[in-house]
């Protein structure tokens, strides 16, 4: 949509008159302008970090493309000897366009080095809200390993700390069962970090994973179990006891004061938590205790 104040806009140059979603690469040099390419001559990049695409989301995009067409051109490499263009950025649009039975797509052809290709794909994909944690991990790991880019450098480009990026990449060190659980959303990234802290102890990792899924453990419970096992040196059974938020004593106290009572253990002790409904309920509980 053009700026409302056209008169004043004209005095500030062409930039002000452009729609907000206008692809300014159209104004680039001739060899970077938008071209139309047959969809069958376009292929995804085998090094593209993103492998899974939500089918429902693709169908929605496909319907939008049928009505409005491709609003943002794909970025592709120069054609190979066989005349095939490889996608640098825009694979999701390409997939949705195939569903919409488009015959050709608007593209911007660029001669990028492999590192730049993957970096563009990484930056486009890693910031997407529907990219899974493992897909993000795969993205940053590929850039770090194959192109010798540090996690700090990747973090700067993505607006995150190097430590955050490195921790994300470590998700690839999870056992396969844990990765599958993370992909299914049976566990969270927080749970995954607790599992990673038990690297080199596969039996304990398996035990923790089962407890999280079957017991519905929170991230804090998983962390407490790891602390009890590793820092305090408790056996597995005793560590499980420390994770419990209630025992016979808390149940007894809860019965006396007629309020929920729970335990939150730490490495050397813990705290007792009493829940109350409102200020009157709090006063009632305090009167009971004193």
Active site residue ranges: 91
Residues 146/173, Cβ–Cβ less than 8 Å: no
Radius of gyration of the chain (CA): 27
Distance CA 204, CA 76 (A): 46
Residue 174 C-alpha from the chain's centroid: 16
d(CA 75, CA 258): 65
Question: Which secondary-structure segment (H or E) carries 88?
Answer: strand 85-89
Residue 266 has φ and ψ, to the nearest 5°, of -120, -175
Measured from the Cβ of residue 265, the count of other Cβ atoms closer than 10 Å reads 20
Alpha helices in 231-278 (DSSP H): 236-243, 248-257
Q: List the structure tokens of 273.
A: 């938590």
Q: Which helix (H) or strand (E) holds 192?
A: helix 189-196
Three-state DSSP at 267 gives: coil
Coil vs helix vs strand at 127: coil
Helix/strand/coil percent split, the chain, to 5: 55, 10, 35
CA 72, distance to chain mean position in Å, is 23
d(CA 36, CA 50): 25
Judge contact between 259 and 272, C-beta under 8 A: no
């Amino acid at each position: 949509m053009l700026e409302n104040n056209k008169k004043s806009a004209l005095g500030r140059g062409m930039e002000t008159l452009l729609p907000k979603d206008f692809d300014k690469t159209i104004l680039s040099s001739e060899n970077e302008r938008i071209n139309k390419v047959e969809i069958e001559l376009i292929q995804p990049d085998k090094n593209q970090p993103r492998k899974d695409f939500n089918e429902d989301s693709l169908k929605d995009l496909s319907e939008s493309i049928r009505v409005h067409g491709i609003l943002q051109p794909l970025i592709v490499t120069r054609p190979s000897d066989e005349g095939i263009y490889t996608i640098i950025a825009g694979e999701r649009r390409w997939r949705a366009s195939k569903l919409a039975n488009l015959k050709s797509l608007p593209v911007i052809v660029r001669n990028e080095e492999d590192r730049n290709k993957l970096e563009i794909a990484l930056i486009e994909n890693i910031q997407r809200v529907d990219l899974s944690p493992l897909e993000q991990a795969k993205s940053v790991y590929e850039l770090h390993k194959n192109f010798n880019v540090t996690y700090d450098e990747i973090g700067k480009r993505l607006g995150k700390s190097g430590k955050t990026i490195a921790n994300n990449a470590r998700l690839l060190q999870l056992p396969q069962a844990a990765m599958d659980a993370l992909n299914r959303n049976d566990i969270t990234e927080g749970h995954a970090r607790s599992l990673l802290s038990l690297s080199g102890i596969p039996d304990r990792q398996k035990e923790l994973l089962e407890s999280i899924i079957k017991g519905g453990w929170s991230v804090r419970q998983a962390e407490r179990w790891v602390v009890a096992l590793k820092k305090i040196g408790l056996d597995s059974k005793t560590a499980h006891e420390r994770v419990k938020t209630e025992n016979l004593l808390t149940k007894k106290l809860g019965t006396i004061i007629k309020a929920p009572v729970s335990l939150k253990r730490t490495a050397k002790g813990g705290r007792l938590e009493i829940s109350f409904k409102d200020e009157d309920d709090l006063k009632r509980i305090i009167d009971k205790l004193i």
